[in-house]
Amino acid sequence: MNKQLSRQGFTFLIENAPLVSIDICIVYAGKILLGKRANAPARNYYFTPGGRIYKNEAWQNAIERITAVELGLDLKANQFKLMGVWDHFYEDSVFNEKKSTHYVNLPHFVELNEEPHFMADEQHESLSWFNLHDCEHNSLIHPYTQNYIYWIIKQRSPCSIALSQLRS
């Protein structure tokens, strides 16, 4: 059974341990889907959708939950490619601008050959497509997301996946 923490428990965890999270990098037609963050950390920056892995939740289930909850998409974990293990350090947290947050992040990448229809959740003011090659000097895009974009540009394969294949 997956366990979500109380606010008090989550605050204690943020103050004392790294969080394990997954970021979702969705590319379509040479563009990446980014959301403008409504809350800290990375508030007001464009960032990939993502979230933490809950206790007793397999990372594969976390990918599927995050894409469903944050985007309203039915994507399967086995269609994504792990981009590696990345540390993200922030000076603030969702609860306190003076308490730092450390994420051990497992970003995953998928390239689609059909444009997905998505819906934003409360964590994002908006969701937008950004051309991968126009992101390098865009100050609205968080530097950690720019690092993902560099990785994607270097690693992209010519193969893409149809949404109909993802749902089967």
C-beta separation of 73 from 88 below 8 A: no
50 marked as part of a ligand binding site = yes
165 marked as part of a ligand binding site = no
114 marked as part of a ligand binding site = no
DSSP β-bridge partners for residue 36: 46, 126
Annotated binding site for Mg(2+), which residues? Answer: 50, 70, 123
Annotated binding site, which residues? Answer: 50, 70, 123
